[in-house]
Amino acid sequence: MSKGTGLLSKKQLEKLLAQKTFRNGLGYSAIFSIFTWLLFGLLLEDLVLSATLALLSFFPCMACFLYYPKIKKKQYAGLVEAELPFCLMNIAVELNLRIPFGKTLEHASKGKEKCARELRLVVREVEEQGASMQTALRHFGERIDSRLVKRAVTQLSAAFEQGGRENCGLPIKRIAAEILTRQRVESKLFSGKLVVGSLLFIAVSAIIPAMFQSFSIVGSVILHMNFTATQLFLIIVVGFPLLDLAVLFYIRSRTPVFLRGQ
Protein backbone atom coordinates (compact mmCIF):
# COMPACT_ATOMS: atom_id res chain seq x y z
CA MET A 1 0.00 0.00 0.00
CA SER A 2 1.29 3.45 -0.84
CA LYS A 3 0.38 7.13 -0.63
CA GLY A 4 -0.58 7.14 -4.27
CA THR A 5 -3.52 4.89 -3.56
CA GLY A 6 -4.57 6.95 -0.54
CA LEU A 7 -3.66 4.14 1.85
CA LEU A 8 -0.98 4.00 4.52
CA SER A 9 1.87 1.55 4.43
CA LYS A 10 2.62 -0.77 7.32
CA LYS A 11 5.56 1.38 8.46
CA GLN A 12 3.40 4.51 8.39
CA LEU A 13 0.71 2.81 10.45
CA GLU A 14 3.29 1.67 12.98
CA LYS A 15 4.71 5.20 13.15
CA LEU A 16 1.27 6.72 13.76
CA LEU A 17 0.54 4.13 16.44
CA ALA A 18 3.87 4.88 18.15
CA GLN A 19 3.12 8.62 18.11
CA LYS A 20 -0.34 8.05 19.60
CA THR A 21 1.13 5.80 22.30
CA PHE A 22 3.76 8.46 23.12
CA ARG A 23 1.13 11.21 23.45
CA ASN A 24 -1.09 9.05 25.63
CA GLY A 25 1.91 8.09 27.73
CA LEU A 26 2.78 11.75 28.34
CA GLY A 27 -0.74 12.57 29.46
CA TYR A 28 -1.23 9.60 31.76
CA SER A 29 2.29 9.89 33.20
CA ALA A 30 1.67 13.55 34.02
CA ILE A 31 -1.59 12.67 35.80
CA PHE A 32 0.19 9.88 37.72
CA SER A 33 2.98 12.29 38.75
CA ILE A 34 0.48 14.85 40.05
CA PHE A 35 -1.30 12.14 42.05
CA THR A 36 2.07 10.94 43.40
CA TRP A 37 2.98 14.51 44.39
CA LEU A 38 -0.26 14.93 46.35
CA LEU A 39 0.10 11.52 47.99
CA PHE A 40 3.71 12.04 49.09
CA GLY A 41 2.86 15.59 50.12
CA LEU A 42 0.32 14.24 52.61
CA LEU A 43 2.58 11.41 53.70
CA LEU A 44 5.88 13.29 54.09
CA GLU A 45 4.54 16.81 54.69
CA ASP A 46 7.37 18.14 52.54
CA LEU A 47 6.30 19.66 49.22
CA VAL A 48 9.83 19.90 47.77
CA LEU A 49 10.70 16.26 48.51
CA SER A 50 7.29 15.05 47.32
CA ALA A 51 7.67 17.06 44.10
CA THR A 52 11.07 15.45 43.52
CA LEU A 53 9.66 11.96 44.06
CA ALA A 54 6.75 12.76 41.76
CA LEU A 55 9.14 13.91 39.04
CA LEU A 56 11.18 10.74 39.43
CA SER A 57 7.99 8.65 39.17
CA PHE A 58 7.19 10.23 35.80
CA PHE A 59 9.98 8.45 33.93
CA PRO A 60 9.24 4.81 34.94
CA CYS A 61 5.55 5.46 34.31
CA MET A 62 6.37 6.81 30.84
CA ALA A 63 8.58 3.80 30.17
CA CYS A 64 5.72 1.47 31.10
CA PHE A 65 3.41 3.16 28.60
CA LEU A 66 6.00 2.98 25.84
CA TYR A 67 6.64 -0.73 26.42
CA TYR A 68 2.99 -1.61 27.02
CA PRO A 69 2.20 -2.34 23.33
CA LYS A 70 5.20 -4.65 23.12
CA ILE A 71 4.11 -6.42 26.29
CA LYS A 72 0.57 -6.87 24.96
CA LYS A 73 1.93 -8.21 21.68
CA LYS A 74 4.05 -10.73 23.56
CA GLN A 75 1.10 -11.75 25.71
CA TYR A 76 -1.08 -12.24 22.65
CA ALA A 77 1.63 -14.39 21.08
CA GLY A 78 1.73 -16.45 24.25
CA LEU A 79 -2.04 -17.01 24.09
CA VAL A 80 -1.78 -18.15 20.49
CA GLU A 81 1.10 -20.47 21.46
CA ALA A 82 -0.97 -21.93 24.30
CA GLU A 83 -3.84 -22.81 21.96
CA LEU A 84 -1.69 -23.76 18.99
CA PRO A 85 -1.03 -27.47 19.78
CA PHE A 86 -4.76 -28.30 19.94
CA CYS A 87 -5.41 -26.58 16.60
CA LEU A 88 -2.44 -28.38 15.07
CA MET A 89 -3.64 -31.73 16.40
CA ASN A 90 -7.04 -31.26 14.77
CA ILE A 91 -5.44 -30.18 11.50
CA ALA A 92 -3.03 -33.16 11.54
CA VAL A 93 -5.84 -35.65 12.14
CA GLU A 94 -7.96 -34.26 9.30
CA LEU A 95 -5.01 -34.11 6.91
CA ASN A 96 -4.22 -37.77 7.62
CA LEU A 97 -7.85 -38.49 6.75
CA ARG A 98 -7.22 -36.90 3.33
CA ILE A 99 -9.51 -33.93 4.00
CA PRO A 100 -8.56 -30.97 1.77
CA PHE A 101 -6.18 -28.49 3.38
CA GLY A 102 -8.55 -25.53 3.03
CA LYS A 103 -11.34 -27.44 4.76
CA THR A 104 -9.07 -28.41 7.65
CA LEU A 105 -8.17 -24.78 8.25
CA GLU A 106 -11.83 -23.79 8.00
CA HIS A 107 -12.78 -26.41 10.60
CA ALA A 108 -9.93 -25.36 12.93
CA SER A 109 -10.93 -21.70 12.64
CA LYS A 110 -14.39 -22.30 14.11
CA GLY A 111 -13.89 -21.25 17.69
CA LYS A 112 -13.44 -18.29 20.02
CA GLU A 113 -9.78 -18.94 20.77
CA LYS A 114 -7.04 -16.61 19.61
CA CYS A 115 -5.48 -19.28 17.41
CA ALA A 116 -8.84 -19.99 15.74
CA ARG A 117 -9.24 -16.27 15.15
CA GLU A 118 -5.88 -16.10 13.39
CA LEU A 119 -6.80 -19.10 11.24
CA ARG A 120 -10.05 -17.34 10.31
CA LEU A 121 -7.98 -14.44 9.07
CA VAL A 122 -5.97 -16.87 6.94
CA VAL A 123 -9.12 -18.42 5.47
CA ARG A 124 -10.67 -15.01 4.86
CA GLU A 125 -7.54 -13.72 3.17
CA VAL A 126 -7.58 -16.69 0.79
CA GLU A 127 -11.31 -16.74 0.05
CA GLU A 128 -12.20 -13.04 0.07
CA GLN A 129 -8.96 -11.33 -0.96
CA GLY A 130 -7.71 -13.95 -3.38
CA ALA A 131 -4.33 -14.43 -1.71
CA SER A 132 -2.46 -17.68 -2.08
CA MET A 133 -2.43 -20.08 0.87
CA GLN A 134 1.33 -19.69 1.31
CA THR A 135 0.99 -15.89 1.43
CA ALA A 136 -1.86 -15.97 3.94
CA LEU A 137 0.05 -18.39 6.17
CA ARG A 138 3.17 -16.23 5.92
CA HIS A 139 1.13 -13.22 7.06
CA PHE A 140 -0.08 -15.32 9.99
CA GLY A 141 3.53 -15.93 11.03
CA GLU A 142 4.40 -12.25 10.61
CA ARG A 143 1.50 -11.11 12.80
CA ILE A 144 2.54 -13.26 15.76
CA ASP A 145 5.86 -12.64 17.51
CA SER A 146 6.56 -16.30 18.23
CA ARG A 147 9.22 -18.73 17.03
CA LEU A 148 6.90 -21.69 17.59
CA VAL A 149 4.14 -20.12 15.51
CA LYS A 150 6.58 -19.45 12.67
CA ARG A 151 7.73 -23.09 12.78
CA ALA A 152 4.12 -24.27 12.70
CA VAL A 153 3.32 -21.94 9.80
CA THR A 154 6.32 -23.29 7.86
CA GLN A 155 5.13 -26.84 8.41
CA LEU A 156 1.55 -25.95 7.44
CA SER A 157 2.83 -24.43 4.20
CA ALA A 158 4.81 -27.60 3.51
CA ALA A 159 1.73 -29.74 4.16
CA PHE A 160 -0.29 -27.60 1.75
CA GLU A 161 2.36 -27.96 -0.95
CA GLN A 162 2.36 -31.75 -0.54
CA GLY A 163 -1.24 -31.75 -1.71
CA GLY A 164 -2.81 -34.43 0.47
CA ARG A 165 0.00 -37.01 0.44
CA GLU A 166 -0.28 -39.90 2.86
CA ASN A 167 0.57 -39.04 6.48
CA CYS A 168 1.31 -35.41 5.58
CA GLY A 169 -0.09 -34.42 8.98
CA LEU A 170 2.57 -36.30 10.96
CA PRO A 171 5.13 -33.41 11.04
CA ILE A 172 2.38 -31.08 12.23
CA LYS A 173 1.45 -33.56 14.95
CA ARG A 174 5.09 -33.72 16.06
CA ILE A 175 5.23 -29.94 16.48
CA ALA A 176 2.02 -30.01 18.53
CA ALA A 177 3.43 -32.77 20.77
CA GLU A 178 6.66 -30.78 21.20
CA ILE A 179 4.73 -27.69 22.30
CA LEU A 180 2.66 -29.73 24.79
CA THR A 181 5.83 -31.25 26.24
CA ARG A 182 7.33 -27.81 26.65
CA GLN A 183 4.18 -26.59 28.42
CA ARG A 184 4.31 -29.52 30.85
CA VAL A 185 7.94 -28.71 31.72
CA GLU A 186 7.12 -25.04 32.26
CA SER A 187 4.16 -26.01 34.44
CA LYS A 188 6.37 -28.13 36.71
CA LEU A 189 8.95 -25.36 37.01
CA PHE A 190 6.28 -22.82 37.86
CA SER A 191 4.81 -24.99 40.63
CA GLY A 192 8.09 -24.61 42.55
CA LYS A 193 8.15 -20.85 42.01
CA LEU A 194 4.53 -20.58 43.12
CA VAL A 195 5.42 -21.91 46.58
CA VAL A 196 8.01 -19.16 47.05
CA GLY A 197 5.59 -16.54 45.72
CA SER A 198 2.87 -17.70 48.11
CA LEU A 199 5.21 -17.40 51.09
CA LEU A 200 6.24 -13.93 49.94
CA PHE A 201 2.61 -12.86 49.67
CA ILE A 202 1.85 -14.14 53.19
CA ALA A 203 4.82 -12.19 54.53
CA VAL A 204 3.83 -8.99 52.75
CA SER A 205 0.11 -9.20 53.53
CA ALA A 206 0.27 -10.36 57.17
CA ILE A 207 3.72 -10.41 58.78
CA ILE A 208 5.09 -7.06 57.60
CA PRO A 209 1.93 -5.04 58.52
CA ALA A 210 1.91 -6.64 61.99
CA MET A 211 5.60 -5.85 62.47
CA PHE A 212 5.04 -2.27 61.31
CA GLN A 213 2.23 -1.75 63.80
CA SER A 214 4.40 -3.11 66.61
CA PHE A 215 7.30 -0.94 65.48
CA SER A 216 5.13 2.18 65.36
CA ILE A 217 3.86 1.56 68.90
CA VAL A 218 7.30 0.77 70.35
CA GLY A 219 8.95 3.54 68.35
CA SER A 220 6.52 6.16 69.61
CA VAL A 221 7.15 5.18 73.25
CA ILE A 222 10.89 4.39 73.31
CA LEU A 223 12.44 5.99 70.24
CA HIS A 224 10.10 9.00 70.17
CA MET A 225 9.21 8.31 66.55
CA ASN A 226 5.83 9.86 65.97
CA PHE A 227 3.71 9.12 62.92
CA THR A 228 0.87 11.48 62.16
CA ALA A 229 -2.64 10.11 61.74
CA THR A 230 -2.50 10.90 58.02
CA GLN A 231 0.77 9.04 57.58
CA LEU A 232 -0.48 5.96 59.42
CA PHE A 233 -3.70 6.01 57.39
CA LEU A 234 -1.85 6.22 54.07
CA ILE A 235 0.69 3.53 55.01
CA ILE A 236 -1.94 1.05 56.22
CA VAL A 237 -4.76 1.80 53.78
CA VAL A 238 -2.70 2.65 50.66
CA GLY A 239 0.88 1.48 51.09
CA PHE A 240 0.39 -2.11 52.21
CA PRO A 241 -2.41 -2.89 49.73
CA LEU A 242 -0.22 -1.54 46.93
CA LEU A 243 2.59 -3.77 48.13
CA ASP A 244 0.22 -6.75 48.08
CA LEU A 245 -0.84 -5.88 44.54
CA ALA A 246 2.79 -5.62 43.50
CA VAL A 247 3.49 -9.15 44.77
CA LEU A 248 0.37 -10.51 43.07
CA PHE A 249 1.37 -8.78 39.84
CA TYR A 250 4.84 -10.33 40.09
CA ILE A 251 3.37 -13.80 40.58
CA ARG A 252 1.04 -13.29 37.62
CA SER A 253 3.89 -12.05 35.43
CA ARG A 254 5.84 -15.23 36.21
CA THR A 255 2.86 -17.45 35.46
CA PRO A 256 3.05 -19.18 32.05
CA VAL A 257 0.47 -17.79 29.64
CA PHE A 258 -1.13 -21.19 29.02
CA LEU A 259 -1.87 -21.43 32.78
CA ARG A 260 -2.94 -17.82 33.08
CA GLY A 261 -5.58 -17.89 30.37
CA GLN A 262 -7.12 -14.75 28.93
**Residue 234 structural domain:** 185-260
Those residues with Cβ within 8 angstroms of residue 197's Cβ, 6 or more apart along the chain or in another chain: 247, 250, 251, 254
pLDDT at position 5: 35
Tens of pLDDT, residues 231-257: 777 788 878 888 888 888 888 888 887
Contact 28, 65 (CB under 8 A): yes
Residue 13 falls inside a structural domain: no
Query: What average pLDDT score do residues 58-63 get?
Result: 78
Tens of pLDDT, residues 138-185: 889 888 888 889 989 998 998 888 876 777 788 888 888 988 898 889
* 100 vs 156: CA distance, rounded Å: 13
pLDDT reading at 11 higher than 70: no
Residue 161 falls inside a structural domain: no
Residue 110 falls inside a structural domain: no
pTM for this predicted structure: 0.66
Residue 79 falls inside a structural domain: no
Domains held by the chain: number: 1
pLDDT band for position 224 (50/70/90)?
low
Residue 124 falls inside a structural domain: no
Residue 223 falls inside a structural domain: yes
Tens of pLDDT, residues 64-107: 777 777 778 888 888 888 889 999 999 999 888 888 888 999 99
Q: DSSP alpha helices (H): ranges in the chain?
A: 10-44, 47-96, 101-108, 114-127, 133-143, 147-162, 170-202, 208-221, 229-234, 240-254, 257-260
Give the residue, 4 or 216, on which the prediction is more confident: 216
Residue 138 falls inside a structural domain: no
Residue 55 falls inside a structural domain: no
Amino acid in the structure at residue 177 = A
